Amino acid sequence: MPSKKKKDPRFYLEHILQAADDVAEFIAGYDKKEFAADKKTNGAVIHH
């Protein structure tokens, strides 16, 4: 049975930072009402 190698924690941190940057880009220029009404952007942010 192959051994499981742990990934470097920096891998996860880099992914989290990239996701946060993506979300900030997705919602730029939206107010709360616009964001709530935009189903596609709302879904992308929630599931990202």
At residue 14, the pLDDT reads: 96
Using only the alpha carbons of the chain, give its radius of gyration.
Answer: 16
Total Cβ atoms within 10 A of residue 34: 12
Helix, coil or strand: residue 5: coil
Number of residues written out for the chain: 48
Total Cβ atoms within 10 A of residue 37: 10
Q: Which residues neighbour 38 within 8 Å (Cβ) at sequence distance 6 or greater?
A: 30
Residue 8 identity = D
pLDDT in tens, 1-48: 566 778 899 999 999 999 999 999 999 999 999 999 999 999 999 987
